[in-house]
Structure 1
Amino acid sequence: MSARILVVDDVPANVKLLEARLSAEYFDVMTASNGTEALALARRAECDIVLLDVMMPDMDGFEVCRRLKTDPATHHIPVVMVTALDSPSDRNRGLEAGADDFLTKPVSDVVLIARVRSLTRLKMMTDELRMRAITSLEIGMQAPERSAVADTGKGGRILLVDDRESSYQRLATILAAEHTVDVEPNPTEALFHAAEGNYDLLIVSLDLNNFDGLRLCSQARSLERTRHVPILAIADPENSTRLLRGLEIGVNDYLLRPIDKTELLARARTQIRRRRYTDHLRDNVQNSIEMAITDALTGLHNRRYMESHLATLAEQASTRGKPLALMILDIDYFKSINDTYGHDAGDDVLREFAVRVRKSIRGIDLACRYGGEEFVIVMPETDLHVAGMVAERLRRSIAGEPFAVHKGTKRIEVTISIGLTTLEQKGEAVADVLKRADTALYRAKHDGRNRVVSQAA
């Protein structure tokens, strides 16, 4: 796993030591001797993780971390503070500044590399989501960076898995000051609870009685509904080596007992902020996919989606020996609606038309805006007779009630013409089916409009 690590320290000997350790594990290492240089490198997206010293002359590590985490361009870069400072107040100050971890020198090679690898996996996953979501900006969707920077990390839903009453009561009390907390003392029920609860964070004790806490963490990572929920592991100091194993299998962060109240809250906020940010990225990706295949005005699928999906439906129909009906619908005299009442009225008609189409077809049918005032409906496992009845019902639905336009101040009569055909010849080209339906539509319009014309294969 290759990643670019930025080591920030004003002491050359410290830089060389960290550079040697990381290079031996095949990481690419960059260096900066002060905070200003580090911020510039991070803003140019030249690093994946920042290993940051605290005591530096021009700008201390706390301020560098704060600036990284409050800048929308760099807030997603993991920051690990590596320093000789070892007091709880220093640690908490670093975590409050947004650091993903705070390691005290001298740092064990095993601990350092395990943490870097864990954060590298996280960064690569986030980068993939960010890359996929870039196009969402081009189609007008809101980027999540600024909201992520402003997010306090409070108000999350946390599931605490711990079977020691004295432990979970104290932890739950601390966490309840900022979050909603559910406690699950039965580890065998925890995974089901986690899958059903829509949690922002799982906190798992690795010192459960008669149950392997790491196995629970691994199961949470393998289950679709909990795969992306961050996990904060808690262990006694003698079990610290198991925490390193936990980082390898997907644990996001950890704490050793006795637990400091401020540190627990800070680490929980960090994980919840990250969860919300990645969820927002995933939503952007999903929404951009939907927008790419959906007609913005009517909410129906667009022509691009129809052409792709129709080919699949036709292949399935041929393979299974089932009929497939297809109709092309055209709103009669639509140009005159735009010319007489304005394009806003035309848009009102198109939107209401889509609503009536949805009410007239089945859930398995595919309705698309083919272009302008033309629409296509594909009906799997439907013969010409049944499709004809559906088309006639839809025609009556359109003609039977005037369309409200201009916010309901006017109502206008609208009719449609429909060309209908079916795919019944095995292996027939989709283009031929569309052409036949279009020919039937032409006949409908030529014969006086407001009618359904069928053309058999």
Structure 2
Amino acid sequence: MLSPIIQRADAERILSSDDATHSRVQLSVPPVGAVLVVDDDDAARWLVVRALARSGIQTFEAVDGKEAVEHVLAKPELIDAIILDVMMPGLNGFDVIRHIKRIPAAATTPIILVTASATEEDDIVRGVEYGAIDYIMKPVSTAVLTAKVRAACERSRAERRLRYDLRFAELHAMIDPLTGLFNRRHFEARIREASAYSKRHDQPFSIVMVDLDHFKSVNDTYGHETGDHVLTQFAAAVRSVLRGEDVAFRYGGEEFVLLLRACDAERAADVAERLQKKLRQRPYLFRDGTSRVITFSAGVAAALPSEGYGSAELVSRADAALYRAKAAGRDRIAYW
């Protein structure tokens, strides 16, 4: 499971593909597999469904190509394989394959064609060219059918698990394990994305560099375990004041950075002030019974339209503003 402290909007954006559904899917479908059976012949479809059901395979049914495509669009992550008749009125089997391959979450779903006779070699060749992985001849051998479907389902689920595991690892490589915020490495990628977005939409974006005041004294007085807990509480406060399109990062140690889309310097400072207010409302309670408001110094810098909303100098400008805030007595916000 993803850590509950990972920023929700960004986790959903990164894992919004079929890869993200693996952990949910394996709780909602049977262990053998789930198959969509598409055939306009009721008797033929019933034969296939019954044979698969006897093998513990869950089935969904579609009576024509249009219904099949609609079913895949609605629940692509629940289908491990598709058994597809070639000759159907309206959308035929080849049309259905073309439509399914355009659905990102279903593009790799194994498709097994059912063809009327062994003489229709052109249908088989054409189906393979379109992306079908196998074919079955009518009349259907239930033993062959079951074996091929089981193999297709196993392949589909293995590929889904692999994609999910890779995406899961990729996501966690971007996350600071202590705070659950994104890390500095991911910030470097996201600030370039923000710059490109601002150029396209002619909108400003800003960053706020944040450094906790006198944090070393917390570690020296109460130990690093308490210091870590202070950092996690601070990260929680940060998340509570951000909009869905904003992103926070742990830049290093007790230093953080906020990346605020469609936000000029003044509005960015407002976000930092909301964070200050949040922290003042909830002083940190230490184990010796004393409490202390966690304060910070912040430097704000906005990407400039005159520079094409470039990000090259933005970090150094925010950093310079941060050091001015610290030099002026800390617990304050400074602009570049």
- Do both share a fold (TM > 0.5)? yes
How far 1:411 sits from its partner (Å)?
6.7
Q: Please report the TM-score for the alignment, with normalisation by the length of structure 2.
A: 0.80
1:84-117 deviation digits (Å, cap 9, x = unpaired): xxxxxxxxxxxxxxxxxxxxxxxxxxxxxxxxxx
State the match for 1:334 in structure 2: 215
Cα distance in 2 for partners of 1:186, 1:330 equals 62
1:178-198 deviation digits (Å, cap 9, x = unpaired): 122111112222111122123
Q: Please report the TM-score for the alignment, with normalisation by the length of structure 1.
A: 0.60
Cα distance in 2 for partners of 1:344, 1:425 equals 44
Matched, 1:266 2:147: yes
Which ranges in structure 1 are unaligned for 5 or more consecutive residues?
A: 1-152
Contact in 1 for aligned 2:110/2:156 (Cα 8 Å) = yes
Classify the secondary structure of the residue corresponding to 1:160: strand
Which ranges in structure 2 are unaligned for 5 or more consecutive residues?
A: 1-29
Judged with a 3 Å threshold, the aligned counterparts in structure 2 of structure 1 residues 321 and 211 are, in CA distance, closer, same or farther, namely closer
Judged with a 3 Å threshold, the aligned counterparts in structure 2 of structure 1 residues 190 and 447 are, in CA distance, closer, same or farther, namely same
State the match for 2:106 in structure 1: 226
How far 1:372 sits from its partner (Å)?
1.0
Judged with a 3 Å threshold, the aligned counterparts in structure 2 of structure 1 residues 410 and 174 are, in CA distance, closer, same or farther, namely farther
Amino acid at match of 2:127: G
State the match for 1:189 in structure 2: 67
Matched, 1:157 2:44: no
Classify the secondary structure of the residue corresponding to 1:155: coil
Cα distance in 2 for partners of 1:169, 1:320 equals 54
For 1:3-22, what aligned pairs fall within 5 Å after superposition? Answer: none
Larger radius of gyration: 1
**Counterpart selection for 2:94 from 209, 214, 238:** 214
1:414-440 deviation digits (Å, cap 9, x = unpaired): 222212232336227645332232222
Cα distance in 2 for partners of 1:431, 1:184 equals 54
State the match for 1:364 in structure 2: 245
Cα distance in 1 for partners of 2:159, 2:269 equals 48
**Counterpart selection for 2:170 from 266, 278, 289:** 289
Contact in 1 for aligned 2:65/2:90 (Cα 8 Å) = no
Classify the secondary structure of the residue corresponding to 1:426: helix
Root mean square deviation, CA, Å: 2.6
Cα distance in 1 for partners of 2:315, 2:53 equals 61
For 1:379-418, what aligned pairs fall within 5 Å after superposition? Answer: 379-403=260-284, 413-418=293-298
Cα distance in 1 for partners of 2:200, 2:142 equals 64
Matched, 1:203 2:99: no
How far 1:172 sits from its partner (Å)?
0.9
Cα distance in 2 for partners of 1:435, 1:270 equals 56
Judged with a 3 Å threshold, the aligned counterparts in structure 2 of structure 1 residues 240 and 344 are, in CA distance, closer, same or farther, namely farther
Contact in 2 for aligned 1:329/1:418 (Cα 8 Å) = yes
Matched, 1:170 2:47: yes
Classify the secondary structure of the residue corresponding to 2:250: strand
Structure number with higher relative contact order (C-alpha < 8 Å, ≥ 6 residues apart): 2
Cα distance in 1 for partners of 2:229, 2:115 equals 61
Which of 388-397 and 315-324 deviates more?
315-324
1:61-104 deviation digits (Å, cap 9, x = unpaired): xxxxxxxxxxxxxxxxxxxxxxxxxxxxxxxxxxxxxxxxxxxx
Amino acid at match of 2:159: T
Judged with a 3 Å threshold, the aligned counterparts in structure 2 of structure 1 residues 219 and 398 are, in CA distance, closer, same or farther, namely same
**Counterpart selection for 1:249 from 130, 138, 153:** 130
How far 1:312 sits from its partner (Å)?
4.0
Contact in 1 for aligned 2:212/2:297 (Cα 8 Å) = yes
The alignment covers a number of residue pairs equal to: 301
Contact in 2 for aligned 1:161/1:183 (Cα 8 Å) = yes
Contact in 1 for aligned 2:303/2:310 (Cα 8 Å) = no
How far 1:342 sits from its partner (Å)?
2.8
Q: Percent identity?
A: 32
Cα distance in 2 for partners of 1:405, 1:255 equals 70
Which of 433-442 and 273-282 deviates more?
433-442
Contact in 2 for aligned 1:318/1:426 (Cα 8 Å) = no
1:238-263 deviation digits (Å, cap 9, x = unpaired): 45412232122211122112322222
